Amino acid sequence: MWKANLIASRLQVKWPIIQAGMAGGTTTPELVAAVSAAGGLGTLGAGYMSAEQIRQAIRAIRELTEKPFAVNLFIPEEFDGEQPVASTVATAMNDVRERLGIPADPVVTRYAEPFAEQMAVVVEEQVPVCSFTFGILEPRWMAELKQRGVTVVGTATTVREAVALEASGVDMIAAQGSEAGGHRGSFLPDSPSNLVGTMALVPQIVDRVSIPVIAAGGIMDGRGIAAAFALGAQAVQLGTAFLTCVESGAHPEYKRAVRETNDEATVITRAFSGKSARGIENEFMTLLAPHDSELPPYPVQNALTRDIRTAAAKQNRTEYLSLWAGQSASLSRGLRAEELVAQLVEETERVVSGLR
């Protein structure tokens, strides 16, 4: 099943197994390099990183491996940082700050890193693969990447988004099912629902586009990988599975929470960032749930909760951390990335052999 694989050939990797670009410090250079060195494709989650941080991370990855890797960025969204925060939301968050012993109503001076500066680094450093989420890349950036031979991957949560991405010129599409942990990659505002499961989403996208499709969402082991290929995907993308790896930069208590969770523990929330994301339900989500309609949009809410998340991490208070995880998180294992890739390959081959 690995032979003549379109995505493996294009990405120049041994196995069409992609480690998702989880932003926020999880995808350390060590994790990215380890996945790539093991024959998969490691991805630097650079959405929250400054241009200089991205440059340093890219160079650190290259010092660790000569294999291809990817950088994932967030398509910028319009927002109004001057809009007042609803008093109910501000009060709820200040109550949490009091529990953590940090100042109320912090002044936020930057809501998101300049996308043009981030992209300039990706172009200048000639990253092999650039993936993105939350939208469609501007034509000028698409042209720059294509001119330099960079493979471009977009994220879709519906068939219509996949069709729009193909028309924009991407080389591959990551079909993100509703089981996936972290932020939803949706970008069409008129979509009535983007919570389409991976098993339903992948074959429908495969039937509607002419470029290779990557299955993402709820895939944790060889069973999921074999199923994704049966649905027509040419590769898989795993986030939660790599989150608990030894090389992951996730907080130790975050890793523990993921390993100890169950199939009913994750929910979709806007509490931490203002954008829908799947994570393990905790006290912060519960406190903000009644005020969901009043929350500022992304990236404003994300910036407003940064001090809370930082303090919670320092104090090992998982009840106030954003514990992003997919619906199959309980299948996670605390291995080294190289070991996990090897096990994923072995499991997949065993499942496929059994089906024969």
Torsion 124-127-133-139 (CA) sign: positive
| Contact (Cβ atoms closer than 8 angstroms) between residue 290 and residue 86 | no
Cα 93 to Cα 105: distance, rounded to the nearest angstrom: 9
Cα 302 to Cα 286: distance, rounded to the nearest angstrom: 17
Cα 206 to Cα 210: distance, rounded to the nearest angstrom: 7
- At residue 194, does pLDDT exceed 90? no
Mean pLDDT computed over 116-129: 98
Alpha-helical segments (H) within 101-178: 115-124, 139-147, 159-168
- At residue 190, does pLDDT exceed 90? no
Q: What is the mean pLDDT of the chain?
A: 96
Which long-range contacts does 141-150 make (Cβ < 8 Å, 24+ apart)?
A: 142/168, 142/169, 142/170, 144/119, 148/123, 150/122, 150/123, 150/126
Query: For the segment 13-40, what is each residue's pLDDT rounded down to a tens digit?
Result: 999 999 999 999 999 999 999 999 999 9
pLDDT for the residue 189: 81
Using pLDDT thresholds of 50, 70 and 90, give the confidence band for residue 2: confident
Adjacent-strand bridge partners of 216? 176, 237
Query: For the segment 43-58, what is each residue's pLDDT rounded down to a tens digit?
Result: 999 999 999 999 999 9
Cα 213 to Cα 216: distance, rounded to the nearest angstrom: 10
What percent of the chain stands above pLDDT 90? 95
Query: For the segment 262-290, what is each residue's pLDDT rounded down to a tens digit?
Result: 999 999 999 999 999 999 999 999 999 99
- At residue 76, does pLDDT exceed 90? yes
Cα 199 to Cα 36: distance, rounded to the nearest angstrom: 27
Query: For the segment 173-183, what is each residue's pLDDT rounded down to a tens digit?
Result: 999 999 999 99
- The SS3 of residue 288 is helix
- Check residue 76 and report its DSSP letter: P
Indicate the burial class of 23 (C-beta count within 10 angstroms; 0-12, 13-18, 19 or more).
Answer: buried
Mean pLDDT computed over 207-225: 98
Percent of the chain as helix, strand, coil, to the nearest 5: 45, 15, 45
> pTM here?
0.97
Amino acid at 63: E
pLDDT for the residue 247: 98
164-175: b or e for each residue (b if 16 or more CB lie within 10 Å)?
bbbeebbbbbbb
210-236: b or e for each residue (b if 16 or more CB lie within 10 Å)?
ebbbbbbbbbbbbebbbbbbebbbbbb
Q: For residue 136, what is the enclosing H or E element?
A: none
Mean pLDDT computed over 111-135: 97
Closest CA to 205 of 168, 156, 134, 153: 156
- At residue 192, does pLDDT exceed 70? no
